[in-house]
Structure 1
Amino acid sequence: MSSEFAERVSQLLQAMRSIGTGLDLHSTLNSIAQTAAELAGARYASIVVIDPASGDLADFASYGVDEVDRELIDEIPDGEDATLTVPVVVEDENFGDLVLAQKLGGGPFTDHDVQLVRVIATEAGIAIGNARLYEESRRRADWIDGSNAVTTALLSMTDVGDALGVVAEQARTLANAAAAVVLLPAPDGEGLKIVAAAGGADGDAETVVGTVMPWYSPAVAKLQAGEAVFVEDSASDPRIVTKLASAYGPSMLLPLRSGSRVLGSLAIPRNPGDPAYTESEKTLAAQFARQAALALVLSEAQHDRERLAVYEDRDRIARDLHDLVIQRLFATGMMLQGARNTVADEELGRRIDTAVKELDLTIQEIRTSIYSLQHQPPDAPTGLRGLVLREVATAAATLGFEPSVSFVGAVDAAVDAETTKHLLAALREALSNAQRHAEATQIGVVIDATAALEDGMPAVRLTVADDGVGLPEESLRRASGLRNIEARAQVLGGAAWTEGGLGEEGAGTAVVWQVPTMPEPGGSEGVQ
């Protein structure tokens, strides 16, 4: 072995140790190309990686090739002397080709060059294998973190729709997809209905919520049977019968399955022209879907336990009212009636009679409440008034005082279920912000169903005003809670903004949320 070749081998081993420390796959490929070019004395070096499944270019790393050269790369002279090509093998798999072109100083590549490049290719296979393992472990860790986030959301959020939105957003991000949607069984066996979405071809996920994938779609039959469906091109695949498919390319449709029970489906489409999902991605996504389904089942069980606890509490309250409170009131009435017979003063007698009548009315009202507790389910449909009062009462426990509430107009008749859902979420967020940041001593909530937009279209307006310390401009821009409130208004074609609050000279903050409604069927109910 010549001293020159020995020196080059020493340089090679040192360079390969450096390459072996790289963990990002594309960066590792670039380092290999540079090392090969420098040690073999080539002007150009590249690693071309072909996807074995599709035959498409999967990656391209190069050294000495700028953007101008890339356009002319097909004109680089080819032949035994002008180029040197060595395959790169990773775990007995032909990963790609390491190609060197144009020996510096002219002349052909030597046998020593060939030997060096072969060693580089061998070491490169090891480095690439390590980089692949790192990327795979990183992806697995990301999917595990996503599954944990979904479980936390489903077990902690009271609004299942919001929690399913977390499922969709996590799946879209982790799969590097264009969109993700959660589908649950539609009523009357119509198929699968989109109940939560993230991303989308037009960037507005809310527009697809409510879309139904019909029961006669072959994909729906497989999903409801607990089978996954993998699609190379959503627009042309006959198994997906929905107008949304035309905007997407590769897709995964995964059943949300826990044991033998299929709760729904998770669809994760990519844009047209994006690479198809790998087997590793399919496996990770399927595991994510199973975890999400398990979290859904646990969430249902938790809500059932909470509902049972409420039923039991209502029964206990009803028993206490009947066995303790009513009996004591009845006994007090009997004592007053007995005392009435001994009273000679007519005025005092009339007062006692009035007190006895009031006790009788109170007993009747308590009995009505007992009947309501025993027969009215806690999750029965409630109008907007009742739901708003419930939210405010819940917030009062953490605020330390009861906010005032006013209603203007026929709020229950004018506001539909979808608007009610978003209004309550906006109210909850505004009360939470006031509790955390305002340092307020009073808060006023007004629901006005007689409001109107600038174009005269009828609207409902929510105002949550406090007398707190106000909201600085910088905090206003950064407050995610306010951004969420504004986003919920925009989804319904409305808007949200802030104004002065309840304090002196407008001190404090008022959050105003306004969206259009259908015209009221009746007249105004007035302020209550």
Structure 2
Amino acid sequence: MSSESEDPGAVLHAVSSAVLAVTRHLSVREVLQVIVRSAQRLLDARYAALGVPDEAGAFAEFVAEGISDEEWEAIGPMPRQHGMLGAMLREGAPVRLPDIRRDPRFECWPRAHPVLKDFLGVPILDGDQVLGIIFLSNKRGPGGFTEADQRLLTMFAAHAAIALTNARLYERSRELALVEERTRMARELHDAVTQKLFSLRLTAQAAASLVPGDPVRALRELDRVERLAGEALAELRAVIVELRPAELGRHGLAETLRKHVRLLDRLHPASFSFSSSPSDGETGGESGAETGAETGGEAPGADGGTRALDPAVEVAVLRVAQEALHNASRHSAARTVAVRLGREDGRVVLEVSDDGAGFDVATAAGRGLGIASMADRAEAVGGSVLVRSELGAGTVIRMEVPG
């Protein structure tokens, strides 16, 4: 059906759906997918896509309709900023063509890429800045895309600009919230724990000086050391529990990880999956970004049941997983990333593995990969982190903690 003969009510409904998607609490990728799907349906196109460029000559986000997962697999990596896509990013102007293959800006497609003919693309603008592009191809009705189609797609591009701007504001607000939380944590640690530990140190020094001349009084001071140490430990645990992410309290470690992995799977071109195993050699959930053990606040147990974890251990495992997943999504260029949570020999085991580019572990300390931070988090709860990576052969990060 041609968009020119489309019922005005249907047009308003499609636009309304896009606007509602922008204003809902959906991921950026979901919002962009709704916009692309609405544009494809309204303008009766076989193919539709929306790309947001990155600073490395590729696309940070690229969503499409009309291409199956199998076809994407055959096409290969995400498109680069070249040919017509690159020209639109540079020129920032709409493009409407009866046959894209005849335009001098066209270059080529990968071998498995579908053949595109009639083409309509418009930039996604924030003022004069080109945030991305949205384009349609192969209109099903005769005659190709019209000027009315171009006006309607321009309207959809305006909604895409709102989605991207809101997403950036949201990410900025999250960054500010993290800074505020770190400041609060430092203040809480200073007020509740640091002063107690300072008193503990002075008391221990006093006890040591009294041992030769007044051992009875030294014993009393040592009793005070023990009491102060217990109080400091209790206050430190209270701070940790207070700083415990709300998701852990509501859903538990396994479910929180599963939800986080599912979100990454939606936001990134790589495939992210999560699985949990209740015991050695037993799988507790099918591998997949939508699956995993829903164990509440407990961890997989060695006997196939569940066992409560110390809150500090849960926080440490979650933070290491998030750091490892951040590295995999930003730096590895992986096609698949797998997260496994299980129990082996009485210890909780987390593994994050990818099939990406890998790196030299010996020289990675200064690359901002957070390896030292992950190790510190694990050691703070009596655990350890092992990083295995090889150039061209992917990376495995394995964390073991008492369970």
Shift in Å, 1:272: 8.0
What residue is the counterpart of 1:94 in the other structure?
none
1:179-207 Cα distance to aligned partner (Å, 9 max, x none): 2222222434x476762222228863464
1:268-319 Cα distance to aligned partner (Å, 9 max, x none): 1126885412322221111011111122112111210121121112112112
> Does residue 422 of structure 1 match 2:272?
yes
What residue is the counterpart of 2:102 in the other structure?
236
Shift in Å, 1:405: 11
1:66-85 Cα distance to aligned partner (Å, 9 max, x none): xxxxxxxxxxxxxxxxxxxx
Aligned equivalents of 1:137, 1:238: Cα separation in 2? 37
What residue is the counterpart of 2:367 in the other structure?
none
Structure 1 pair 234–310 and aligned structure 2 pair: CA distance change class (3 A): same
Any conservation in 1 of the 2:196–2:228 contact (CA below 8 Å)? no
What residue is the counterpart of 1:298 in the other structure?
166
Aligned alpha-carbon RMSD (Å):
5.2
Amino acid at match of 1:231: L
Pairing of 1:49-60 with structure 2 (within 5 A) = none
Shift in Å, 1:173: 2.9
Partner of 1:423, secondary structure, is: strand
Pairing of 1:323-334 with structure 2 (within 5 A) = 323-334=191-202
1:211-252 Cα distance to aligned partner (Å, 9 max, x none): 1141xx366334433211112123333333231676112221
Aligned equivalents of 1:137, 1:223: Cα separation in 2? 31
Pairing of 1:419-498 with structure 2 (within 5 A) = 422-423=272-273, 429-430=290-291, 434=294, 442=298, 444=300
Structure 1 pair 307–289 and aligned structure 2 pair: CA distance change class (3 A): same
Pairing of 1:120-199 with structure 2 (within 5 A) = 135-152=6-23, 156-157=26-27, 160-188=28-56, 190=57, 195-199=62-66
Any conservation in 2 of the 1:249–1:272 contact (CA below 8 Å)? no
Shift in Å, 1:166: 3.7
Aligned equivalents of 1:271, 1:172: Cα separation in 2? 9
Pairing of 1:311-350 with structure 2 (within 5 A) = 311-335=179-203, 338=206, 341=210, 344-345=215-216, 348=219
Aligned equivalents of 1:224, 1:268: Cα separation in 2? 19
Name the TM-score, length of structure 2 as normaliser.
0.55
Structure 1 pair 285–228 and aligned structure 2 pair: CA distance change class (3 A): same
Larger radius of gyration: 1
What residue is the counterpart of 1:251 in the other structure?
119
Structure 1 pair 274–234 and aligned structure 2 pair: CA distance change class (3 A): farther
Structure 1 pair 184–288 and aligned structure 2 pair: CA distance change class (3 A): same
What residue is the counterpart of 1:200 in the other structure?
67
Shift in Å, 1:348: 3.4
> Does residue 226 of structure 1 match 2:88?
no
Name the TM-score, length of structure 1 as normaliser.
0.44
Pairing of 1:206-217 with structure 2 (within 5 A) = 207=75, 210-214=78-82, 217=83
Partner of 1:212, secondary structure, is: coil
Any conservation in 1 of the 2:58–2:78 contact (CA below 8 Å)? no
Pairing of 1:57-96 with structure 2 (within 5 A) = none
Aligned equivalents of 1:404, 1:358: Cα separation in 2? 34
Any conservation in 2 of the 1:249–1:274 contact (CA below 8 Å)? no
Aligned equivalents of 1:290, 1:445: Cα separation in 2? 51
Which sections of structure 2, spanning at least 5 residues, go unmatched? 237-243, 258-266, 276-286, 307-333, 344-351, 359-387, 391-395
> Does residue 261 of structure 1 match 2:129?
yes
Any conservation in 2 of the 1:191–1:213 contact (CA below 8 Å)? yes
Aligned equivalents of 1:316, 1:202: Cα separation in 2? 45
Aligned equivalents of 1:143, 1:404: Cα separation in 2? 34
1:343-380 Cα distance to aligned partner (Å, 9 max, x none): 63499369559749969x98xxx9xxxxxxxxxxxxxx
Aligned equivalents of 1:182, 1:295: Cα separation in 2? 12
Amino acid at match of 1:320: E
Structure 1 pair 224–331 and aligned structure 2 pair: CA distance change class (3 A): same
